[in-house]
Amino acid sequence: MFDKLAAVAARYDELTELMAQPEVATNVTLLQQYAREQRELEDIVATYREYQATERAIAEAESMLGESDPELRALAQEELETQRKRLAALEEQLKLLLLPRDPNDSKDVIMEIRQGEGGDEAALFAADLFRMYTRFAESRGWKVEVDSLTENGIGGIKEVIFQIHGEGAYSQLKYEGGVHRVQRVPATEARGRIHTSTATVAVLPEVEEAEIEIKPEDLRIDVFRSAGHGGQGVNTTDSAVRIVYKPGTPEEIVVTCQDGRSQIQNRERAMTVLRARLYAREQEKRQREIGASRLAQVGTGERAEKIRTYNFPQDRITDHRIGQNFSNLPAVLDGELDKIIEALIVYDNAERLRASGISNN
């Protein structure tokens, strides 16, 4: 591990020297490339240098243990214990920083929520989830844009596709994909019986146009008049867009966007969603080929897998992937997802560390 850290630190210093050279300073493209690479190394180099400084502090404290003054020895012992704890914490931090980064972590997110089993109650639960993620995004200053929304007339949602724009959005929300289950007494239930309903959530990183090749001949694009939420007309022009991707196989993909202000905007959004779905399909295929691990499932959430249960009578949320329970269900549905996401990240990091076999050598 430390050989790799030394090489990373050396590269960081080399980049500083390269960017100071006149031929690089006048080449904007190359300068930006070097600056971007250095920024990516910054955290790990800063932590490594703090680790080295802590090692020096430990050596200094150890040298003072031989002092004749008992007060100095006591101070040295106290300092030694503090610095050793700090060193251990920095070592764990360095192990995490050395893990390969998910290249999608910094990307924006496309989310799709659909009602599952449970009829109107499932649609109401889908609406709760949509509000939860919207409030979570708003608490971070992220922007939410709805691409398509189909309601059931009583405040529930049959399907919603929306985008969340914000630095690191995918790194936080990528654990939410899968089947969410709710156990509660519906407002329409006269006898007070607890019902179980589900909704599915898909989380896709936004993909650049250059990352996915889509042939024009594989697309059929339809335009039609937008309809507002609940059926009211939004406008009298054919601004809604439906894109059907059918590359000569039975696996066609249909994307509809109608909440944008114009046909052009809806078409761009639909293509964004299509690229994300194609990218996700390729990633899932690759994971199946290499044998999807438990770690991969935590990161992507298999759609057929029940990942979380929201139990209203017991005010309990259970994440089944990590076997952990959380309370204060109303606050969570109001967007306070931090504790759950942090627990998933800790679990994910532990799994990746175990799989990576990173040691101190």
**Domains detected in the chain:** 2-98 (no CATH), 109-207+293-356 (3.30.70.1660), 211-288 (3.30.160.20)
Q: Residue 235 pLDDT more than 90?
A: no
Give just the sign of the alpha carbon dihedral 187, 188, 194, 196.
negative
Query: Could you tell me the pLDDT band of residue 320, with boundaries at 50, 70 and 90?
Result: very high
**What is the average pLDDT score of the chain?**
85
Residue 223 has what pLDDT? 84
Closest of 131, 130, 123 to residue 195, by C-alpha: 123
Confidence of residue 248 (pLDDT cuts 50, 70, 90): low
The lowest-confidence range among 12-26, 109-123, 249-263, 290-304 is: 290-304
Q: Report the C-alpha gap between 244 and 231 in whole angstroms.
A: 23
- Give 293's pLDDT tier (boundaries 50, 70, 90): very low
Segment 344-347 long-range contacts (CB within 8 Å, at least 24 positions apart): 344/175, 344/298, 344/319, 345/175, 347/298, 347/321, 347/322
pLDDT surpassing 50 at residue 299 = no
CA–CA gap between residue 196 and residue 178 (Å, rounded): 16
Burial of 150 (0-12, 13-18, 19+ CB in 10 A): middle
Does the pLDDT of residue 294 top 60, yes or no? no
pLDDT level of residue 332 (50, 70, 90 thresholds): very high
Q: Are 91 and 99 in contact (CB under 8 A)?
A: no
0.85 surpassed by pTM: no
pLDDT at 234: 47
The pLDDT, as a whole number, for residue 1 is: 85
Asked if pLDDT for residue 233 goes beyond 50, the answer is: no
Residue 89: its H or E element: helix 70-98
Alpha-carbon distance values, 284 to 44, 289, 344 (Å): 30, 9, 20
Bridge partner list, 319:
308, 324
State the greatest distance between any 2 C-alpha atoms of the chain, in Å, as a whole number. 91
Over residues 43-76, the pLDDT tens digits come to 999 999 999 999 999 999 999 998 888 899 999 9
**pLDDT tens track for 197-220:** 999 999 999 887 767 778 888 888
Question: How far is residue 257's CA from residue 248's CA, in Å, rounded to a whole number?
Answer: 23
Is pLDDT above 80 for 290?
A: no
